[in-house]
Structure 1
Amino acid sequence: MASINERSASEMFQGQALLYRHLYAFIDSMCLKWIVELRIPDIIHNHAKPITLPELVSILQIPPTKVGQVQSLMRYLSHNGFFERVRIHENFEEKEAYALTAASELLVKSSDLSLAPMVECVLDPTLSDSYHHLKKWVHQEDVTLFKISLGSHFWDFLTKNPAYNESFNDAMASDSQISNLALRDCKLVFEGLESIVDVGGGTGTTATIISQAFPNLKCIVFDRPQVVHNLSGTNNLAFVGGDMFSSIPKADAVLLKWILHNWSDKDCVKILKNCKEAISTNGKKGKVIIIDVVINENQDQHEVTELKLLMDVNMACVNGKERSEEEWKKLFKEAGFQGYKISPLTGYLSLIEIYP
């Protein structure tokens, strides 16, 4: 390995640029929080056309001394793909204006596909400040990052803090809306089933989509009692409270969307064994449907792998993990399943069907 003195000046400059880019990366998150808090995507959406800086700062009631700072923020966010800088003509004059991109459209709070709740939840200081404790966390065996920062396991923290629990459920529901775009094209996965249990299904966003698409399919949302106790079902949709580590309601299929990455291999095997028991009744052999990350560094694009590895670090902090196909296969075998099939779902999530 080359020492510092053997590297060229060009290499050192590139290293400095990479270091500084990550050193100040927290500003990216804070800029997202800023535009959501000020509802800038909503303002541009309601404006019904690209908006100029003077129009934007007027609506936001920005003091004249801060207009330049707002321009810096908008220029940076535009460079990173959250807005598009376009040229418009008004009153015989050409002006620069900001238009929404696909990313900022996902932050319009009035949209059915809004991910603004995810931004609000993840960037709440209660959660984001926990990452200041990484040094302490890695030296303590079998302790989650949130146990150190919050004083309890993340799920216990949600139970004790109803306001944040509501924010978390809203965030998960918003993510489910995006996944449902893909699920609408996966109807073959649910055909032939008479019943399905959505384990950890939250407030029922995904199960509602499935129940509406398949009126004859009995759907059960199974989650912690405090999540589902005030929720009302429909003719083919019901909410049941319980603990997936104890037992799971019987059904032809079990859906685990973004669940297993929260847990260690040992816990996942326990959950999967309960799933296997739930679908193996009356002589029928059902299946388990998993929506989660499958790491594939050899085939995925660099940006996709970067996101998956970032999510892996995020899940490691609750002692969970994102998994490669080989790691998934090992879990399925230990839980007693005989076969599986992996299909692409979204840009970074896969759909995995496993069979007893």
Structure 2
Amino acid sequence: MTLSKLHDLLNLLTDAVTQLEEACTKNGTSIPDLDKSFNTSSEDFRKDPTAALAANVIGAAALHIYAIINPPQISLFDIASGTQKAAALRICLESGVAEILQEAGPQGLHISDITTINGQDPVKLGACLRYMATHHVFREVTPNVFANSRISSLLDTGKSFQELLSYPHKKYENTSGLTALIGHLLDEASTASAHMWEVFSDPTTVKSNEPSQSAFTKFVGRGKTLWEYYDDPEQDFRRHRFNIGMHGIQKLHPENIILSVYDWKAVPAGSVIVDVGGGVGTTQLCLAKEFPQLKIIIQDQSHVIEEGAKASTLICQTLILNVWHEKDPDALQSGRVSFEDEYCIKILTQLRKAASPNTKLLSMDTIIQHACHDNSGFTDYITGAMPDEAPSPLLANWGAVNPMAYCIDIIMLALFNSRERTLSDSVSLFEKSGWKVTEPDADE
């Protein structure tokens, strides 16, 4: 039985490689080189849906085969060593290794030369770099000589190491935000996640959804929620990094995804689009440009939640204005796009009360997909409710090539005591709030 599954997985992988090769030849694109620095054009092959699907199949099949063949104790050890991976990566990030190696070029730099520049111990930093190189983050070109890989090059802020040394508080300014996001995950999120069991095992907090009883609040913030923690002047750097990192989240999603999920051309001119939970509004930027006849309100909870952290609100507002003034200033100045704060727990109910018979609620959120195939038919009448399941015998949710939503789920638990939802949970929430879940062409 196992050999049969291996053959099935191998066939999937082989067919997908052929499809990927054909798509790249047709489109004049190529698969990026792992040993070269990242650039946006290296991802052009993914713009072809056939190539993108083939890439997912290849990754999922390869990792599934690895899970079958790898000794289970080694697989468990690899998962359990996640904290060590994060620690090693953070040391490399904070000590400016990516920037130093970017200046050195593809030939790399000896560990003794790296540590002469950043002041680290060559043996200790060498251990971290070699551990990362084992996972293709950085490359060990020759013994003790390291260079950036396609993955580690994303840690490069584009600044010289001397600039980082002179202005450490400006490390993430004028960057895409992705490196800032990684810095936040390796710092606050990682530390809080390490203490989740203490919250899960405490009878007073195990079933709580209060941010004041999250792992972060109890073990990192020392009684302060994340927003209260960020209001402390001593945490200015972390707060600033977090805000830049939130802007960087858009790099993890297709830029114009909002345009493909609904027939916006059918929406009458002058209609009001309310983006509930819209953050700084990056998702709506392309919608505002493509359909200037629509009025857009971006609505989200204040970063204060219930604790009254006014400074965080001001920071959020400043970030919002910067994003829109840079990308589409006319939309703000004309009043066609505006921002409002509201508590999440009240939003759906209040929207339903204010809705007219012709109001439509379009849900566009992260949904936790089951790892098994779902034959219940529960989602059949909800167009776009779930992504396509992976072909058998792959895990239905694409397994380890699709980890982001599940990782965010754990991070939200660690930081805020909240979590993402499965589709059935979301439908239940909508219906309890008075909304009827229908097909997109229905009246509600």
TM-score bucket (shorter structure) = 0.5 to 0.7
Q: Quick one: structure 1 residues 307 and 183, their matched pair in 2 at CA, closer, same or farther if it must change by over 3 Å? A: closer
> 2:137 maps to which residue?
82
Q: Deviation at 1:115?
A: 1.5
Superposed displacement of residue 50, structure 1 = 1.5
Which residue type is aligned with residue 334 of structure 1?
K
1:94-137 per-residue CA deviation (whole Å, 9 max, x = no partner) reads x9763422x33432324965521112222335872573363245
Match of 1:109, SS?
Answer: coil
**Secondary structure at the residue paired with 1:337?**
coil
Q: 1:217 to 1:76 in 2, by over 3 A?
A: farther
Check the 8 A contact 1:31/1:73 in 2, yes or no: yes
Q: Secondary structure at the match of 1:303?
A: helix
**2:106 alignment counterpart:** 50
Matched residue type, 2:157: K
| 1:118 alignment partner in structure 2 | 181
Aligned-partner SS, 2:155: coil
**TM-score (norm: length of structure 2):** 0.55
Shift in CA distance, 107/304, structure 1 to aligned 2, threshold 3 Å: same
Task: Give runs of aligned pairs for residues 285-300 of structure 1, distance below 5 A.
Answer: 285-298=359-372, 299-300=396-397
- Kept in 2, the 8 Å contact 1:180–1:206? The answer is no
1:154-303 to 2 correspondence within 5 Å? 154-158=226-230, 163=236, 164-181=238-255, 183=257, 186=260, 188=262, 190-193=264-267, 194-223=271-300, 224=302, 225-230=313-318, 231-232=320-321, 234-237=329-332, 238-245=337-344, 267=345, 270-277=346-353, 280-281=355-356, 284-298=358-372, 299-303=396-400
Task: Judge which range, 76-85 or 56-65, deviates more.
Answer: 56-65
Partner amino acid, structure 1, of 2:369: I
Q: Conserved in 2, the CA contact under 8 Å of 1:199 and 1:244?
A: no
- The aligned residue for residue 257 of structure 1 is none
| Inter-partner Cα distance in structure 2 for 1:53 and 1:129 | 34
Distance 1:296 1:138 in 2: 25
- Shift in CA distance, 147/59, structure 1 to aligned 2, threshold 3 Å: closer
Give the direction of change, closer, same or farther, for the CA distance of 1:235–1:65 in structure 2 (3 Å limit). closer
| Structure 1 or 2: more strand by fraction | 1
- CA separation of 1:126/1:175 partners in 2, compared to 1, >3 Å: closer, same or farther? closer
**C-alpha separation in 1, matches of 2:427 and 2:190:** 32
Deviations 1:56-78 (A, max 9, x none): 75365358994454443333212
CA distance in 2, matches of 1:301, 1:354: 31
Matched, 1:21 2:78: yes
Contact 1:341 1:354 in 2 (8 A): yes
User: What TM-score do the two structures reach when normalised by structure 1?
Assistant: 0.66
Q: Show structure 2 runs of 5+ residues with no match.
A: 1-69, 159-173, 303-312, 373-395
Amino acid at match of 2:185: V
Correspondence for 1:91: none
Question: What pairs with 1:30-69 in structure 2 (closer than 5 Å)?
Answer: 30-46=87-103, 49-54=105-110, 58=113, 61-62=116-117, 66-69=121-124
* Structure 1 equivalent of residue 431 of structure 2: 333
Contact 1:44-1:51 within 8 A present in 2 as well: no
Pairing of 1:93-108 with structure 2 (within 5 A): 98-101=147-150, 103-108=151-156
Q: Distance in 1 between matches of 2:132 and 2:439?
A: 39
Deviates more, 1:19-28 or 1:185-194: 185-194
| Higher helix proportion (structure 1 or 2) | 2
Q: CA 1:301–1:202 in 2, change beyond 3 Å: closer, same or farther?
A: closer
Note if contact 2:274-2:299 (Cα within 8 Å) is conserved in structure 1: yes
Which 10-residue stretch deviates more, 118-127 or 330-339? Answer: 118-127
Structure 2 residue aligned with 1:109, among 143, 157, 170?
157
Does the 8 Å contact 2:413/2:419 carry over to 1? yes
Aligned length, in residue pairs: 300
- 1:30-58 per-position Cα deviation (integer Å, ceiling 9, x unaligned): 222123223333444455x523233x753
Distance (whole Å) between structure 2 residues aligned to residue 312 and residue 339 of structure 1? 24
* Shift in Å, 1:152: 3.7
Structure 2 letter corresponding to 1:61: T
CA contact (8 A) 2:139 2:149 kept: yes
Distance 1:196 1:331, change over 3 A: same
CA distance in 1, matches of 2:338, 2:298: 5
What is the RMSD computed on CA atoms of the aligned residues? 4.0
**Equivalent residues of 1:53, 1:71 under 8 A apart:** no
Query: Structure 1 residue 355: deviation in Å?
Result: 7.7
Separation in 1 of the partners of 2:115 and 2:427? 52
Match runs of 1:311-330 below 5 Å: 311-317=408-414, 318-330=416-428
2:358 is matched by which residue type in structure 1?
Answer: K
Residues 315-324 or 107-116, more deviating: 107-116
CA distance in 1, matches of 2:400, 2:199: 30
What's the secondary structure of 1:196's corresponding residue? Answer: strand
